[in-house]
Amino acid sequence: MSTTAVEVDLVNAALLGTDRRAVPLPEGADPADWLLEAAGRRRATTLVAAASTVVRPGPSAPASTLSLPSVAARDMLDEILLQASLPLLDLWLREALAAGVGLPPERWAPVLDRARRATGLNRARLGAALGPRGLWFARHNPAWSAVVRAAEVPAPDDALAAEPARAVVRTLAAGEQSVGGARTLGQQTAARLPLALYPELVEAGRDPTNAAARAGLAAAEEVLWVRWALASAFDPYRVPPERHPVRTVPTLPTRQERP
């Protein structure tokens, strides 16, 4: 008997009653109980068959194209995530890309969650640090869809060349902004300065002309110091210890130093 014929018999028995439409009962079985169980089995079979024809396996994960960061760089990332500092996280991503490495897979989810809750993180840079495999992972969570859309655009190359950078340092040293404006400009400038200009920035801050110059140069030095520490963590050969400038502002606290 065909599947369609069986279904018709079940429907007719349900509509007319088992006393008017016989069903193939096992010996001693109750007709109503058998009919309900048969209907349930048919429904389950139908659902499974429909699902097997509609659901298709998704695309496989692409190969990873980014190397993993060093242990020191991962430790600094953990400290930054504990501090919930988006500016520092953005700096971490910048220095990671400069060193040719990406986010470690075990940190994809927490970083994506932070990017979803705040707009201060450069999402294009995040996409570059995730790489094709990390973006493939992110697409599986609808909550990250807006982040993924923004992360799929090419990351900007926003580093300043040496001469324009020196001009910005001179502007900071002139102290012609308000204290708050100078501090913001200092932070933004230091995020883009070549690391090689660190000594010039420190020298410019030795004799500031006024409070605004002092605030702007100090803010720039703090950010550049963190960048220097990050660059060293990613690649000690890129920034050898003997080239580190003397700095009194403390670096990121270690786990042992945190209260």
What is the residue whose two structure tokens read 């910005």? 168
Q: Lowest mean pLDDT of 14-28, 101-115, 121-135, name the range.
A: 14-28
Tokens coding 136? 């493939």
- Threshold 0.85, pTM exceeds: no
Mean pLDDT, the chain, as a whole number?
Answer: 78
With contact defined as beta carbons under 8 Å apart, do 10 and 35 qualify? Answer: yes
Tokens coding 24? 């193939």
Burial 12-24 (b: 16+ CB within 10 A, else e): ebbeeeeeebebe
> Distance of alpha carbon 87 from its chain centroid, rounded?
14
Q: Give the percent of the chain with pLDDT over 70.
A: 70
User: Which position has the higher pLDDT, 60 or 158?
Assistant: 60
User: From residue 238, how far is each of 140, 159, 165 by CA, in Å?
Assistant: 37, 17, 21
Rounded to whole angstroms, how far apart are CA atoms 235 and 189?
23
Q: How confident is the model at residue 206 (pLDDT cuts 50, 70, 90)?
A: confident
Tokens coding 167? 């001009």
**Alpha helices, DSSP H only, in 84-152?**
86-98, 108-117, 123-138, 145-151
Farthest-apart Cα atoms in the chain, separation: 105
